[in-house]
């Protein structure tokens, strides 16, 4: 691969998803959702969050304030998965 083509690949944007938890709901539970409904997740508040690229977990992290202070969220990387590097 040439330096030019490698440089072009470095400009490709990939979707990054942060997973805070998962759960399963019945169709009836979904139909019953309304404002102020609370959905319990199968995760504790102090557990690291999964950071995924194209559906694959590449790292874990924790929520923190973004550069805009408490008005924005960011994620601090805690660990990069070895198979993702």
Give 44's contacts (C-beta < 8 A, 6+ positions apart).
Answer: none
Looking at the chain, the number of H-run helices and the number of E-run strands are: 2, 4
Q: Which domains does the chain have, with CATH numbers?
A: 13-84 (2.30.330.10)
State the pTM of this model: 0.72
- For residue 16, pLDDT beyond 90: yes
- Residue 16 in 3-state DSSP? strand
**Gap between the Cα atoms of 15 and 84, Å rounded:** 15
B/e letters for 6-31, b = 16+ CB within 10 Å, e = fewer, are: eeeeeeeeeeeeeeeeeeeeeeeeee
Question: How confident is the model at residue 67, as a pLDDT?
Answer: 87
Question: How confident is the model at residue 3, as a pLDDT?
Answer: 64
H or E element that contains 28: helix 27-31
Give the model confidence (pLDDT) of 22-46 as tens digits.
999 999 999 999 999 999 998 888 8
């Amino acid at each position: 691969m040439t330096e030019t083509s490698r440089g072009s690949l470095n400009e490709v944007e990939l979707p990054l998803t942060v997973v805070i938890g998962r759960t399963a709901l019945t169709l009836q539970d979904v139909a019953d959702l309304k404002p102020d409904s609370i959905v319990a997740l199968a995760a504790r508040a102090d557990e690291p969050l999964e950071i995924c690229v194209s559906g694959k977990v590449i790292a874990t992290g924790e929520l923190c304030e973004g550069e805009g202070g408490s008005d924005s969220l960011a994620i601090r990387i805690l660990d990069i998965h070895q198979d993702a590097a």
